[in-house]
Amino acid sequence: MSSIEEHNFKHNFTTLKVYHLKDGIKIEKPIVLTIGTFDGVHAGHRAVIRILEQKANEIGGETALLTFHPHPRVVLHPHNHKLKLLNSQDEKIKLLENAGLDHLIMARFDKDLARLTPLEYVRGLLVEGIRPAEVVIGDDHRFGRNREGSFEDLKEMGVMFGFGVTALDAEKVSNVRVSSTKIRKAIYEGEVGYAGTLLSHLFPMSGRVVKGDQIGRKLGFPTANLELKDELKIVPAKGAYVVWAKIEAGDWRPGMLNIGNRPTMKASEDTIELHIIGFEGDCYGKRIDVQFVDRLREERKFSGHDELKAALDHDKLNALAILANTKPPQQ
């Protein structure tokens, strides 16, 4: 199997090439590299990618991001990492491609990598692995065993091994951190519209359709029960949302999505149920992508099926009115 996976999505810029560091990397042009998680690929991250592009254009090079999978906190604190991510791996790849990144390099994070000294880290991952011409990173960046390596250490090693090191503007680094915190808080509180503004794109979610109890169908609102693939994926607060939804490689359609335990039905487990407005086909076992536009209301317990159906009819009207002023996502 090739060490490069090309994701030929429709996008704004170029085709992102994805590498696994262990398989080796062959990039002919000079690499301008940054390192990080880039969870959410929000406006702050996109500003960093613009800086990489400027540097790459100056030297006739291309941009690259080194990221680690699984997330280091999951490996170092397996039982209490309390980690929730804005994106699954697939979502992040699509967003990075749309942001114009040329190369995504994934390194497997394990305890052996965590034990590398700063020098071993730089020699193994950068010098012998990626061979960047320039590394662009925050001046508070730490690396290597116990985060012993500093930005100044990296600059010295750059002189030693022949690559440049440029500090990101402190304000930009701060903006990345502040934005990520604000976005997670907004999503936890159900403020998906505000989260989308901070992200500079709609908050995405994807899952596979599994069997449900089909109560929605009896009410005239058949739903697809979504099972998320990534257990680290952050889920918005309980409630009803207006979304765009796409089945497999189909078109984006208007939808309503409910997150919660359906108190009117006296259900005990939380579910994610999607009603695609105007769709009547079978989608069991299929992958559905969802992008959140706004929150319609909090989760409520209704007196019975009639009151619930009336609320769903009202939700549908509100959802269509909101989506009438919102362009569908790009494919």
Query: 111-149, pLDDT tens digit by residue?
Result: 999 999 999 999 999 999 999 999 999 988 999 999 999
* Inter-CA distances, 181 with 92, 106, 187, 231, Å: 17, 24, 10, 19
d(CA 124, CA 16): 24
Section 67-89 average pLDDT? 92
pLDDT tens digits along 154-201: 999 999 999 999 998 777 777 777 788 899 999 999 999 999 999 999
Q: Which residue has the higher pLDDT, 126 or 3?
A: 126
Backbone angles phi, psi at 183, to 5 degrees: -65, -45
Give the per-residue pLDDT at 304. Answer: 77
pTM of the prediction? 0.86
pLDDT-derived band of residue 218, with 50, 70 and 90 as boundaries? Answer: low
Q: Pairing mode, if any, of strands 271-276 and 287-297?
A: unpaired
Helix (H, G, I), strand (E, B) or coil at 119: helix
d(CA 96, CA 106): 13
Nearest to 285 by CA among 209, 206, 205: 209
Domains and CATH numbers, the chain: 4-180 (3.40.50.620), 202-323 (2.40.30.30)
130 within 8 A of 105, measured Cβ to Cβ: yes
pLDDT tens digits along 81-100: 989 999 999 999 999 999 99
